[in-house]
């Protein structure tokens, strides 16, 4: 697959993208960064519990959920949430995962008992694990169309604290130095640039799991963006295995005309809670503020996040660009996929835009593709 990209990417006045950018600039001028939201101090509760005859203690915030309590118990005991039996914390049955701790009316020093068998340290099939990023769930939502839901996420005390906690514990291993003056591309891996299922099962060689045009895409945008992959993986041990696969794919340690700056795994993701169709809903999220806290040269103005799951944009919808999922890599239809060619042309086209918040990708990309600026030689 060959791509030809011209160095001149200035957006002309008659470009259909120009009107969209001008309109969105007015909106962006009134927006605020996620990190700028101020909140009153949170109330914390200390809980005492006994498991396997041993005493334990944990602190939890009123804004946390029952889900967070179960996660904390797992971290202390290795008893998975699905095996946990919590006795004496509340009267009757424990509320569902999305219930707030504040609603349980707990007091500091509250005691309870935990029953459950801890899991082993063996590596398991990711599709059989609980409490993992939901890369296998095809249900999705477009947060760019629901500003009220976005505001609720951004102003949630728990979410703000989780961003800080994840930022504090994250240690980034720089694979290739970041370049001054470049924009940041946050690129999802699972079903965005490769078909994860045959990769994890070993049914196809790594090279055959890659989306067509992967290397050409990365080489085309590299002059304008620092590349960074944000993806989901089910254990730190398995990261060593996946790193090997990325080397086999030629994305790391090869002589390609691009470099991956750093890689993050699922440990810097967290679960958020909201409602969908009037029912409680929870999902994992990729909060870009965690990256920006480590690299202050990047922010919403110069970051673009490409993913096949729109819900991953929940805390930063203005930065998200959703791409069709890539699956069934062994089929002729998958091998005819040209999404990365289209994406490369669009990303090079918007690279000169000083503030990417002025571009609504869900609107601008289709306009660009329909404008006639992309011809067959760019897509095949």
Instruction: Indicate the CATH number for domain 16-30+129-379.
Output: 3.40.50.1000
16-30+129-379 and 44-115: same fold?
A: no
Measure CA 9 to chain center: 29
What is the value of pTM for the model shown? 0.73
Which pLDDT score is estimated for 14? 53
Which pLDDT score is estimated for 139? 56
Question: Domain map of the chain by residue range?
Answer: 16-30+129-379, 44-115
Return the CATH number of 44-115, one of 3.30.565.10, 3.40.50.2300, 3.10.20.90, 3.30.2350.10: 3.10.20.90
Which pLDDT score is estimated for 247? 79
Q: What does the alpha-carbon distance between residue 58 and residue 72 come to, in Å, rounded to a whole number?
A: 8
Tens digit of each residue's pLDDT, the chain (380 residues) = 444 434 344 445 555 545 444 444 443 443 445 545 556 788 999 999 999 889 999 999 999 999 999 999 999 999 999 999 999 999 989 999 999 999 999 999 999 999 998 987 434 444 444 444 444 444 566 666 677 777 888 889 999 999 999 999 988 878 788 888 899 999 988 899 999 889 888 899 989 999 999 999 999 999 999 776 543 333 333 566 666 777 788 888 788 899 888 888 778 889 999 877 778 888 889 999 999 999 999 999 999 999 999 888 989 998 999 999 999 999 999 999 999 999 999 999 999 999 999 988 877 777 776 665 443 333 33
Cα atoms found within 13 Å of the Cα of residue 326, Cβ hemisphere only: 30
């Amino acid at each position: 697959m060959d791509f030809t990209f011209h160095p001149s990417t200035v957006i002309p006045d008659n470009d259909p993208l120009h009107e969209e950018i001008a309109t969105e600039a007015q909106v962006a001028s009134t927006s605020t960064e996620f990190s700028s939201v101020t909140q009153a101090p949170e109330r914390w509760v200390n809980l005492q519990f006994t498991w396997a005859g041993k005493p334990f203690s944990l602190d939890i915030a009123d804004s946390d959920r029952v889900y967070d309590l179960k996660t904390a118990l797992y971290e202390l005991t290795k008893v998975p949430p699905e095996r946990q039996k919590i006795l004496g914390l509340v009267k009757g049955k424990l509320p569902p995962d999305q219930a707030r701790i504040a609603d349980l009316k707990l007091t500091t020093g509250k005691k309870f008992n935990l029953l459950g068998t801890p899991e082993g340290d063996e590596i398991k099939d990711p599709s059989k694990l609980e409490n993992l990023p939901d890369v296998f769930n095809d249900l999705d939502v477009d947060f760019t169309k629901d500003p009220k839901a976005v505001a609720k996420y951004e102003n949630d005390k728990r979410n703000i604290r989780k961003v800080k906690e994840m930022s504090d514990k994250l240690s980034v291993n720089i694979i290739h130095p970041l370049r001054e003056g470049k924009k940041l591309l946050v690129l999802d891996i699972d079903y965005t640039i490769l078909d994860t299922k045959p990769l994890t099962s070993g049914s196809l060689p790594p090279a055959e799991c890659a989306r067509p045009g992967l290397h050409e895409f990365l080489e085309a945008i590299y002059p304008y963006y620092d590349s960074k992959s944000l993806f989901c993986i089910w254990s730190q041990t398995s990261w060593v295995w996946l790193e090997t696969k990325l080397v086999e794919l030629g994305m790391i340690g090869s002589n390609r005309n691009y470099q991956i700056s750093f890689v993050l795994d699922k440990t810097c993701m967290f679960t958020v809670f909201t409602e969908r169709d009037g029912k409680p809903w929870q999902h994992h999220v990729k909060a870009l503020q965690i990256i920006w806290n480590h690299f202050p040269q990047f922010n919403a103005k110069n970051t673009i996040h490409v993913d096949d799951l729109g819900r991953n944009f929940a805390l930063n919808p203005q930065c998200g660009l959703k791409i069709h999922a890539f699956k069934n890599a062994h089929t002729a239809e998958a091998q005819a996929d040209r999404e990365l060619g289209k994406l490369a042309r669009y990303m090079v086209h918007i690279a000169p835009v000083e503030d990417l918040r002025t571009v609504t990708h869900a609107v601008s990309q289709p306009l660009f593709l329909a404008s006639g600026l992309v011809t067959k030689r760019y897509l095949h």
